[in-house]
Amino acid sequence: MTKSILNAKKVDNADAVIVSAAYEKTASSRKGTINGPKAILNCLDTKLEFFDRKYKCEANKYIKIAQKDLGNISKLSPEKALAKITSESEKLVKNGQFVLLLGGEHSVSLGLFQALAKHNNPKDVTIVQIDAHCDLRDTDGDYSSNPSKYAHSCVLHRGNELGYKLVQVGIRTYSVDEYNYFSNPKNNITVFEWGLPAQVGNGNKIPKIEDILKSITTKNVYLTIDVDGFDPAYMPGTGTPVQGGLEWWYGMELIEKLITKKNLIGADIVEVSPMRDSVLTEYGAAQLAYTIITNKFRDKLK
Ligand SMILES: [Mn+2]
| pLDDT tens digit sequence for 266-276 | 999 999 999 99
- Tell me what the pLDDT averaged over the chain comes to: 95
Average pLDDT for residues 23-47, to the nearest whole number? 88
Cβ-count burial 25-54 (b if 16+ within 10 Å, e if not): bbbeeeebbbbbbebbbbbbeeebebebee
CA 291 remoteness from chain centre: 13
Q: How far is the CA of 106 from the centre of ligand 1 (A)?
A: 8
Q: How far is the CA of 155 from the centre of ligand 1 (A)?
A: 10
pLDDT score of 252: 98
Q: How far is the CA of 60 from the centre of ligand 1 (A)?
A: 30
CA angle 253, 258, 261 (to 5 degrees): 115
Q: Is residue 82 within 8 Å of residue 155, measured between CB atoms?
A: no
Domain limits of the chain?
Answer: 16-300
DSSP H helices in 95-144: 109-117
Given the DSSP bridges, would you call strands 165-171 and 98-103 parallel, antiparallel or unpaired?
Answer: unpaired
CA angle 126, 26, 265 (to 5 degrees): 20
Q: How far is the CA of 239 from the centre of ligand 1 (A)?
A: 8
Average pLDDT for residues 196-217, to the nearest whole number? 89
Q: Which CATH superfamily is domain 16-300 in?
A: Ureohydrolase domain (3.40.800.10)
Average pLDDT for residues 81-102, to the nearest whole number? 98
Q: Is residue 18 within 8 Å of residue 65, measured between CB atoms?
A: yes
Record the pTM. Answer: 0.97
Pairwise CA distance, residues 277 & 16, whole Å: 31
Average pLDDT for residues 7-29, to the nearest whole number? 90
Q: How far is the CA of 240 from the centre of ligand 1 (A)?
A: 7
Q: How far is the CA of 216 from the centre of ligand 1 (A)?
A: 21
Average pLDDT for residues 17-25, to the nearest whole number? 95
